[in-house]
Chain A
């Protein structure tokens, strides 16, 4: 097992886990809550486990997946949201997450590249991202604040994320000397 303390190993996987948690909950607050709860479970189970944990990442992923599914079931029981996610879609997303074997080095590079790519964004685009990802504004809220329509904001945010993704990929190709 990795020599880093468990907490640091868990923190290193934050983006990957948060991405997955957001993907299946589509609720930033719930995703954060599950991430925090899973951290406690990871720490407790790792200390209680009598067997050696060979791959912390795979093992922690399973903990996160179970916590997430439990949280989704609880939420659906309380009927807070409208149409629940189709079971086959939830299953497909979980499978993609569990089977993911992306190299740690690439995942780490992506994080660094994103920070650089964000610096290249205009103030308006960063503001839009901040409203969406920091303040959890809906498209309606952002459009009201920025004097646009919700559909236009959704399209603009899609373009921003696509351009960030392209920028990240480009920087990784450069870093790898391709």
Chain B
């Protein structure tokens, strides 16, 4: 069999698109052909790497805050263009339509303006919230994790999360059993006693921690593939922007915008839906409710805006006398 046919069978296998006859062909090849075995192993490793890179978010071009700014500018430009197009269209219509019809259009436009004085969409709310989250301002949120649908009564858990632009965050449960964070460069975690675990790749913390945290539920929050990202407000907002369908809902409080984001794919570890309330003026996120496929509910609520030193996000500030053990670096 030619290499191309072997490759097609192997790729079909990974896509799950082989029929029974083709599966038999592949079995025979894997038993008898050294070339097929080698090709299969190479493609198998390629699949593994693509899944790993995808999970770590390395398959897409990185989005930085400068990109967000550029996007905001681009959107503003487009909004202006749209306004110009609307104006041109309206002028054309005015020339063609009767005076009465034109008056009706003007009346309609005016009444729309009265009820919606600013041009707000779900997308602009997200952009505004991203800009606010990227600010070098410290904000402390209380995260409450509960599972209202659990058959057994599971107590809710509460953590304080302080965030600052540039991916800095510090997380600590209210019982202060541990503290973890990132200074924007390295991730770290430590318990009341013992060393500080430090890594540039937060995912490499997971297996190491799994042995140490007896509470698996908390571990899922702290180290599962997607959720650590959610501890960083900027990353959460970027995730909403790229992987969710967002809609602007009516907010009972006129000083807040309310958007709802619904997951586009079926990634199990990501929230199915996210409700976000942000300040209409400044874009600062006031509350986020994450509904996980497992039935868990995570609620972030802004509690205070402290003024903290630059070093507050580094482990040296919280565990000054502990040995740092680096993993996966």
Q: Chain B contacts of A88 at CB under 8 A?
A: 27
- Distance A138 CA – B40 CA, assembled complex (angstroms): 22
Q: How far is the CB of A57 from chain B (nearest CB, A)?
A: 13
Q: Chain A contacts of B61 at CB under 8 A?
A: 123, 126
Q: Chain A contacts of B243 at CB under 8 A?
A: 135
Number of interface residues of B (CB under 8 A): 53
Which of B45-53, B108-116, B153-161, B303-311 lies at the interface?
A: B45-53
Over the window 99-136 of chain A, the binary record of Cβ atoms lying under 8 Å from chain B Cβ atoms (1 yes, 0 no) is 11010000100110011001000010011011111111
Report whether A14 and B52 are in contact in the complex, using a CB–CB cutoff of 8 Å. Answer: yes
Is B236 at the interface (CB under 8 A from chain A)? Answer: no
Selected contact of A135 from candidates B208, B225, B267, CB within 8 Å: B267
Report whether B55 and A134 are in contact in the complex, using a CB–CB cutoff of 8 Å. Answer: yes
Report whether B49 and A19 are in contact in the complex, using a CB–CB cutoff of 8 Å. Answer: yes
Over the window 124-151 of chain B, the binary record of Cβ atoms lying under 8 Å from chain A Cβ atoms (1 yes, 0 no) is 0000000000000000000000000000
Selected contact of A15 from candidates B20, B45, B225, CB within 8 Å: B45
Q: Chain B contacts of A169 at CB under 8 A?
A: 42
Is B30 at the interface (CB under 8 A from chain A)? Answer: yes
Selected contact of B11 from candidates A39, A107, A123, A158, CB within 8 Å: A158
Is B178 at the interface (CB under 8 A from chain A)? Answer: no
Q: Chain A contacts of B76 at CB under 8 A?
A: none
Q: Which residue of A lies closest to B60 (CB)?
A: A130
Over the window 197-211 of chain B, the binary record of Cβ atoms lying under 8 Å from chain A Cβ atoms (1 yes, 0 no) is 000000010111011
Q: How far is the CB of B267 from chain A (nearest CB, A)?
A: 5
Number of interface residues of A (CB under 8 A): 67
Report whether B48 and A16 are in contact in the complex, using a CB–CB cutoff of 8 Å. Answer: yes
Of B13, B17, B51, the most chain A CB neighbours within 10 A belong to: B51
Report whether B269 and A29 are in contact in the complex, using a CB–CB cutoff of 8 Å. Answer: yes
Is B7 at the interface (CB under 8 A from chain A)? Answer: yes
Given pairs A118-B59, A123-B61, A137-B265, 20 additional interface contacts (CB within 8 A): A11-B207, A14-B52, A15-B45, A15-B49, A15-B52, A19-B47, A22-B48, A23-B13, A43-B207, A86-B23, A86-B24, A93-B30, A110-B45, A110-B46, A118-B58, A129-B50, A130-B54, A137-B266, A162-B7, A168-B42
- A-B contact list, 30 entries, CB within 8 Å: A7-B327, A14-B48, A15-B52, A18-B48, A19-B47, A19-B48, A19-B49, A21-B48, A22-B14, A23-B44, A29-B267, A43-B207, A86-B23, A86-B27, A89-B23, A89-B27, A92-B27, A93-B30, A107-B45, A129-B54, A133-B51, A134-B54, A135-B267, A141-B264, A145-B264, A162-B7, A164-B46, A165-B42, A165-B43, A165-B46
